[in-house]
Structure 1
Amino acid sequence: MNKNPKRSDEPVWWGLFGAGGSWFAMITPVTIFVLGILVPLGIIDSNAMSYERVSTFVTSIIGGLFVIATIALPMWHAMHRLHHAMHDLKFHTGTAGKVAAYFVAAFLTGLAIVFVFMV
């Protein structure tokens, strides 16, 4: 029995994968339904989605975190899925593919943070 097993970083990526998949499955459809169907049909008053109100929401800490999570978590999910799909398709990119996939997710997460909190 190996008394000093090698540590894996995979739980971190699987955690972000799971969080992104859950967010994309539960929150994104509701957001699309409200913003893409209820508001255009007039079921929700369009004044509720005025620029001033939306800007106030997004610049609040809760709104900013919501926007960042809406962008970042599904991106981590997608990049983790892409990384493992490439392996399944016999494109063995090794560590370079892993670093590239997670770099894209981290970069877009960073951009989301910068654009939400610096604007």
Structure 2
Amino acid sequence: MINQNPKRSDEPVWWSLFGAGGTWFAMITPITIFVLGIMAPLGILDADALSYDRVFSFATHIIGALFVIATIALPIWHAMHRVHHGMHDLKIHTGVVGKVLCYIIAFALSAIATIFIFMLG
């Protein structure tokens, strides 16, 4: 018999943030590291390309601000979801308290990043 009133789960929300964070971290972060950590120090990029004024104007433009926020926030959500499920795998059963704590940490760090980025402009 099919349950006509199934219990709603909040897991799709957390899994979507986990998936988005993992995808961002796997696809965008290596390019960012390559450009900022390898190309810039080796002088492959023009010195003007990463001047303070250009980086500041990028970070204060809405698209740049969203990029910076996503680069910070999405991997944090991915990591905290992984910590939450990793504790369960390690037989550290914290229940709802551990879940709420993990997601509050992710939310707080995301909010702090967002506030700092929007305070620049």
TM-score, structure 1 normalization: 0.99
Q: Which runs of 5+ in 2 are unaligned?
A: none
Aligned to 1:4: 5
The one-letter code sitting in structure 1 at the alignment partner of 2:71 is: T
Other structure's SS at 1:48 match: helix
- Pairing 1:1-119 to 2, within 5 Å after superposition: 1-119=2-120
Tell me by how many angstroms 1:118 deviates. 1.2
* Coordinate RMSD, CA, aligned: 0.5
Q: Distance in 2 between matches of 1:78 and 1:114?
A: 21
Q: Distance in 2 between matches of 1:27 and 1:55?
A: 20
Q: Which runs of 5+ in 1 are unaligned?
A: none
Q: Distance in 1 between matches of 2:47 and 2:100?
A: 43
Sequence identity percentage: 70
Tell me by how many angstroms 1:46 deviates. 1.7
Tell me by how many angstroms 1:47 deviates. 1.1
Tell me by how many angstroms 1:17 deviates. 0.2
**Deviant stretches of 4+, over 3 Å:** none
The one-letter code sitting in structure 2 at the alignment partner of 1:109 is: S
Q: Distance in 2 between matches of 1:46 and 1:55?
A: 15
The one-letter code sitting in structure 2 at the alignment partner of 1:6 is: K
- Equivalent residues, number: 119
